[in-house]
Amino acid sequence: MATKAKKSRKKVSASDTDLAAAPGKAKTTAKTKTTAKTKTTAKAKTTAKAKTTAKAKTTAKTRTPAKTKASAKAEAPAKTKTPGKGKVRAAKSAAAADSNSSAKSSRAKTSATSAGKATTKAAAKTGAKAPAKAPAKGVGKSAGKSAKPAKATAKTVKSAKSIAKSTAKSAAKTSAKTAKANTARAKTTKPKTAESKAPVKAKAPAKAKAAANVKAAGKAAAKAKTKAKAAAKTTKAKTTKAESAKTESAKAKTTKAKTAKTPAKAAAKTASKAVAVKQAGKPAAGKAAAKGKAAKAAKPKTVKATKAKTTTAKTTTAKTTAAKTKATKTTRAKAAAPVTAPALPASRPAPRAGRTSPVARRAASAARRTSLAARPIPPKPAGEEQPATAKTPKAKPPKASVPAVRPTPLPPAPRRAPALPTVRRAAPPPMVVETKAKADSKTEPKTESKTAPKAPAKGAPKGTAKGTAKRAAKAAAPQPDIGLAPAEGIAVLGKSIARSDEILTPEALDFVAALHRRFEPRRRDLLKARAERQKRFDAGELPDFLPETRHVREHPWKVAPIPHDLLDRRVEITGPTDRKTVINALNSGAKVFMADFEDATSPTWANLIDGQINLKDRWHADGLDWTDPATGKRYVLGDHPAVLMVRPRGLHLVERHVEIDGAPVAGSLFDFALYAFHNAAAALAKGSGPYFYLPKLESHIEARWWNDVFLHTESALGLHRGTIKATVLIETLPAAFEMHEILHELKDHVAGLNCGRWDYIFSFIKTLAKNHGYILPDRSQVVMGKAFLKAYSHLLIQTCHMRGAFAMGGMAAQIPNRSDPDRNAAALAKVRADKEREVGDGHDGTWVAHPDLVPVAMEVFDRLMPGRNQLDELREDVDVGQAQLLDVPQGTRTEAGFRENIRVGVRYIEAWLGGKGAVPIYDLMEDAATAEIARAQIWQWLKYGAKLEDGTQLTPALFEKALHEESERIRSEVGHDAFEYGRFAEAIALFHKLSLAAEFEEFLTIPAYALID
């Protein structure tokens, strides 16, 4: 038996030598010699991720079975020897066998421990310098290569720990198993043999001997188990220490690998170092491991290997925090670009789809996001699918080209309208234009306009939007495809006008339709809300500050910064949109020109389209000019024009010449949409922007509606949020109680508030029309320095400056009289006094109605306001409440004032029906607001039978008599022919109807609109 044990040890030594020289052969031998439980452990540990340390593991595993077999064979003779004649010899042999077995177990443990240490060191060195293998399926090659040193080190540390632990466990299990086997054999074999060969008397001593042998075997097994545990603890301590050192080394190697220019170079460098180490005299096992690793570095991993790798990584992660961190980093570094896995071996079925480890999925997702953020991905050509296994190019990606489906930029043609989506339709016929069907709009791809950004100007002012040049460059960037509704459902009912096709492009009409469909229902709801509130006022309720918005009024906040070209608005001029007025106003020397589509324009179809053409030419034409056909005088836009702002119509008006889905579009949306669509980008490119005045708002809810319109427009046209700026006219009594709220709703888009004094007077009368305690005196006695007008203007200044917005003064309606110097001097004196009051109160600018008044107002503001504005004038002394805002001025009602209201009302309505919105009457530039005041006062005086200062009570009969007499006076003033061939008869009839109506008509322009084309 001793000879057998020696032969067994020789075989084990030979096997160890073979394994060191040929790892593949050693692996096979180990598998055939290991027990069923040991085979399972070897399979679990032989993973694709741990290929680098496979040889070291195999060596350790082979030595473990060798030790087990040696122990088993050394103990076997003691079990099979029979008592009897050779009792003494058997006892001696058993003792020798026990001694032999203990010595062999001790040598096997020591050899395993030494082999584990040597393998750990060799594998760690090899892993730190040898290149890692190809990444598995779903893992990017580039990331895999860059993380090879760190991966190899992490694998080595894990492998060393696993080897030591498995060695100790195998030794303990084998010893226990051998002891059990010896006990069983002692119970069966020895009694039978003793009975057959010895006399009956020898049975008792034989049993005692057998029991002693069993006891000795048990002690030997317990001793071996204790030694195995001690060896495991020692190995674990040493492995932990080695692991810490290798973790630091791996971090350094990972950093170095990341800084390499390309993963390929880093891998080549690592491979070179590994070869150099091998040539310097590495141990045989280490050389073999490095050689095997280098030979298999380029082989792709299978899905099977990936699955096993994930399991091993999870097990090791639970044991040590350092290894967990390193494994996680390694996995994330590898997940960049997927590679195709080879066919699975027939010995194992393919893994089920979607069964990837959650840890691997999270790591892959994080790495994928990092990879996408780190480098741009060129867009796919139209109609071409990119393969799932496509490699990410390592070279710098080319500049992303515009896909074929995207529009191409238009050449810089200043007079051309920007082309946005949908196929172009033919020019409209004379009377009715129906747009093409939805199917036709799909025949061509959508296009968009691109305006070249203007180069940033040096020294552009900051603090508003960081300079107009910067805003222009942003806004002039390629606009996105706005994807608006198709042309179906849009009908243009107006007559064809020269160049109207430049304004009513299919794309522009689509934009109008989109706004209509989105915001028209809300507009109607707002008008209903107005009517409901007016009923409450008619029932006796008075306007007041809203309790539910107290926090907005009391909380500190500011509006968004104001563009630099709107920081100085000391004088603004207003007027209609005809070509001559536009040129003269822009050249007037005023800081701002407000082109008015509302009160100063009669909304005939020709006026509206012509006005849009003129404003478009301001931004797109090489030069805006006009020649008077009567005199031949030529008007040309100067080099320093005023900043252009546009006032669309109020919410109450519609544009009946354009229908969307069978309903007329809102006039406010029509005017705003066409101007913004055609000119927003061009205005920004020239250092300005899309600036507007908003008329006749009555609540902050209406301001919210406008803010939503602005947001939608900015999104649709590719403008940055806050690009559109608006100044709100506070020209209604309810709005005066919600100024803070209005600014708050529009705080990203608002530039200021304006005192629209004439409309405000009209609104005061209209709002309190059925309250006999609020009857006003003659219009000429209702002035800005008294009562409710003074209170509201002071409150407006305080509110605006508190919020960082401009407080604009009101209109000076006087016009010069060049033919009469005395009357001219009187008019200019009134203008000067009015502007001195405004600048003294703290206004940041004012309005004038005629170019000759610009120098007068400019001189006053230059003298009294040296800075660009008075935003620092907070007016904390102002204390205005409901009583002050409803304070009626003291004055008288005279017959002269009564009759003047009739003449002004009739003359203005006649001019408005004839296509003129701004009319000079009695040395004042009158607009729709003036006519509204005239007819509203007469209605109220007649409603309550007001008495004139001479005691005459006003009645309907007196009104009809005065109307007839004043009509004849108008005939004499304008001439018989002008009166007969004009539209005075219609104007007189309308004025008569409005003045004697049972219910107060909200706006005279609503019934008057039905009388124009």
Write the pLDDT tens digit of every residue in 706-750.
999 999 999 999 999 999 999 999 999 999 999 999 999 999 999
For position 761, what pLDDT does the model report? Answer: 97
Specify the DSSP element, H or E, that contains 625: strand 625-627
Give the CATH number of domain 486-541+569-627+634-695.
Answer: 3.20.20.360
The answer to whether the CB of 47 falls within 8 A of the CB of 308 is: yes
What is the full DSSP assignment across 791-826?
A: HHHHHHHHHHHHHT-EEEEEEE-B---TT-HHHHHH
For position 231, what pLDDT does the model report? Answer: 65
For position 340, what pLDDT does the model report? Answer: 40
For position 768, what pLDDT does the model report? Answer: 96
Q: Is 538 a catalytic residue?
A: no
For the chain, give every residue range classified as CATH 3.20.20.360: 486-541+569-627+634-695
Tokens of 152: 């190899």
Segments of the chain scoring below 70 in pLDDT:
1-218, 220-225, 228-487
Please calculate the CA angle 345-346-349 and round it to the nearest 5 degrees: 90
Listed in sequence order, the residues at least 6 apart from 3 whose beta carbon sits closer than 8 Å to its beta carbon are none
For position 818, what pLDDT does the model report? Answer: 84
Catalytic residue among 647, 757, 803, 875: 647
Residues in the chain: 1013
3-state SS, residue 132: coil
Catalytic residue among 63, 617, 927, 983: 927
Handedness of CA 516, 521, 523, 524 (dihedral sign): positive
Write the pLDDT tens digit of every residue in 191-201.
444 444 444 44
Please tell me what DSSP assigns to residue 737: T
From CA 665, how far away is CA 659, in angstroms rounded? 6
The answer to whether the CB of 778 falls within 8 A of the CB of 725 is: no
3-state SS, residue 844: coil
Please tell me what DSSP assigns to residue 393: P
The answer to whether the CB of 82 falls within 8 A of the CB of 191 is: no
For position 488, what pLDDT does the model report? Answer: 82
Beta-sheet strands, E only, within 35-150: none
For position 859, what pLDDT does the model report? Answer: 97
For position 11, what pLDDT does the model report? Answer: 43
3-state SS, residue 727: strand
3-state SS, residue 956: helix
For the chain, give every residue range classified as CATH 1.20.1220.12: 895-1010
Q: Is 440 a catalytic residue?
A: no
R_g of the chain, CA atoms, integer Å: 49
User: Whole-model pTM?
Assistant: 0.57
Please tell me what DSSP assigns to residue 356: -
Instruction: Assign domain 895-1010 one CATH number from 1.20.1220.12, 3.40.50.720, 1.10.599.10, 3.40.50.300.
Output: 1.20.1220.12
For position 636, what pLDDT does the model report? Answer: 96
Specify the DSSP element, H or E, that contains 919: strand 919-921
From CA 681, how far away is CA 669, in angstroms rounded? 18
3-state SS, residue 834: helix
